[in-house]
Chain A
Amino acid sequence: MIRAVTWVLLVAYIALALLGTAWGPMPIPLHHVLRSLAGAAGITGAEDVPQSEQFVVLQLRLPQVILLGLVGAALACSGAALQATFENPLADPGVLGVSSGAALGAVIAIHTGLAATVFLSLPLSAFGGGLATALLVYALTYVGGRPTAHSLLLTGVAVSSVAVAGVTLVMVLADQHRVQELLFWLVGGVRNQTWEHVWLSAPPIAVGVLGLLSLHRRLDALLLGEEQALAVGVPVVQTRLLVLGFVALATGAATAVSGTIGFVGLMVPHLVRRGTGPRTSHLMPACASGGAAFLTACELLSRAVSEQFSIHLGILTAFLGGPAFLFVLRRRERPQA
């Protein structure tokens, strides 16, 4: 079930994550990082590591690299599941409107001042916005008649653009000094995020990703098309709704702590699929570790590019994702044998 590719990507993620805890505006020797981690885990003492370094490693950078892993895994697994569900290699979590709905929830919380007064109200509003958008997409699709792959996809795209317009509207209305803060939700990242964000996002992401993985056989059947899936006995409509529910959970939680990070859900499954093949039980674990490794690598890259001002993570993934999207399109248009 778990392929060599998965292990390689997992090791890559762990290596990148260690690098991410050591490297930054205040570089920390790798053995100090390891000692701090061992100390925190209670394996050995870490008395000889300066308190300031321990604080940076354990309280600032470690939750960030863990979040990068969680968010990358959530987005990549959601993308892989949506591509199978919609029989469409170009589907990704963005098309459902979950990410943009979460962004809208967040910017409204900031704009109304709720975020500044109530603890954790910001990520919770984002999460609520994402789930509400997913429910709206469901409801609209059902009102329109049969919830086919196409009608869901189109409804998601339409609702998503309305949500993005809402985010932009709030930014236009906002005070100058708040624009930076609001911008975070359009082009996300994990800087300044803390352990609270990890505890908040880990359970829904775990439930979402494991839920998608549990549907692996149905997703495999859907790869061959809806008719083939129905023919072997898969309840297609129910499966589609379950997939959307798990994706909304994972993507909503990921967006709540990291803002909108585009293209990971599109790109990672396509790259990983070349190593694992399309079977969901092989693909999904590799997507989880691949997404984690990719996002962590992007964060390191953004740190390398600029030390003074922060290049948002979401900008980098989109810069890399755009060309990847074009590559996938070209490959799709290649005549079939």
Chain B
Amino acid sequence: MTSLAHSPVRLPAALHANSVSVRRDGATLLDGISFSLPAGSMTVLLGPNGSGKTTLIRVLAGILPPTAGSVVLGSTPLRTMGRSAVARECAYLPQQTVSDFDIRVEDTVALGRYAHIGSWAAMRQTDYEVVSWAIERVGLSALRHRAIPTLSGGERQRVFIARALAQEAPILLLDEPISALDIARQIELMGLLKELHSEGRTVLAALHDLRPALDFFPNALLLDTGRLTAEGPTDAVIRGHALATAFGVTVQRAEQICFELTGTTEPTPPSAQ
């Protein structure tokens, strides 16, 4: 058994978007967006398909430089930081991608150490310990030698969360982390995200689904065709006019159906070998 090198979560800095705009090929993908993510907040980024959620998350993660405006971490603009420096602060989880290559769980998680060790240095003992800790933290120790394509959707998402944890970034930016999962796996994954938030991390997740947004996130941002049209407590945002405009639906009944895990676990597909 590997030792638990518990890495205490560094306090995240607040993340500010200042009049962020992104234009490409004449189309405006984001239009003058400003907001702040306070340190240790847990926020959902809502919006229908095509409203610019992915673009905004990529801008916040420092991957897509905005056409105008800036993203500021604490008091440092992202554009003045190197890629690795940003990756040590903000861990970005893209939407689920399928790789054709049989790369293993622990090797995937170890990639999270890139921002700490760079291209050429070897993994040190502490790096291996952080990788083991991250895999254990998301409950995948038994699968650490398995290839990614042999895992189920929920397991795969956990691998990428472990990769983000191995990055030791106090800010997690997730793009549709639960949209491909069934309800029980959604609840499990949201439980994990809530734990990570309660340890002090800032969590921002883009969702197009309103139900889990209401269930799990205290705060919400609403994107409508590239503009930020509402922000505040999730409940108020979801009942607001802006949401009705953005999604073309209104909330009819407020009473909730609550789901609770009954303890069935996700079946792991049989190994390819």
Contact = CB atoms under 8 A, between A and B. Distances in A.
A88 B61 CA distance: 26
Contacts of B164: 231
Interface in B87-102: 87-88, 91-95, 97-102
Contacts of A224: 97, 99, 101, 103, 108, 111, 148
Contact of B103 (A223, A231, A234): A223
A235 B118 CA distance: 11
A111 interface: no
A140 B63 CA distance: 24
B83 interface: yes
Interface string B155-199: 000001001100100000000000000000000000000000000
B128 interface: no
B119 A215 contact: yes
Interface of A: 84, 87-89, 214-215, 217-218, 220-221, 223-225, 227-228, 230-235, 273, 277-279, 332, 336-337
Given A217-B119, A336-B149, A233 B101 contact: no
A133 to B, nearest CB: 27
B259 interface: no
A230 B63 contact: yes
Interface residues of B, number: 38
B150 interface: yes
B79 interface: no
18 contacts: A84-B101, A88-B100, A89-B100, A215-B119, A221-B114, A224-B99, A224-B103, A227-B63, A228-B94, A232-B87, A232-B111, A233-B83, A233-B87, A233-B88, A234-B83, A234-B114, A278-B102, A336-B149
A266 to B, nearest CB: 14
B272 interface: yes
B87 A231 contact: yes
Residue of A88, A232, A234 ringed by the most chain B CB atoms within 10 A: A232
Nearest to B94: A227
Given A215-B119, A217-B114, A231 B61 contact: yes
Nearest to A217: B119
Given A220-B111, A233-B84, A277 B104 contact: yes
A266 B101 CA distance: 15
B150 A337 contact: yes
Given A225-B94, A233-B87, 9 more contacts: A220-B107, A221-B111, A223-B101, A225-B97, A227-B95, A233-B83, A278-B101, A336-B98, A336-B149
A68 B39 CA distance: 59
A232 B103 contact: no
Given A214-B120, A217-B119, A336-B149, A232 B101 contact: no
B112 interface: yes
B86 A231 contact: no
Contacts of B114: 217-218, 221, 232-234
B115 interface: yes
Contacts of A279: 103, 107
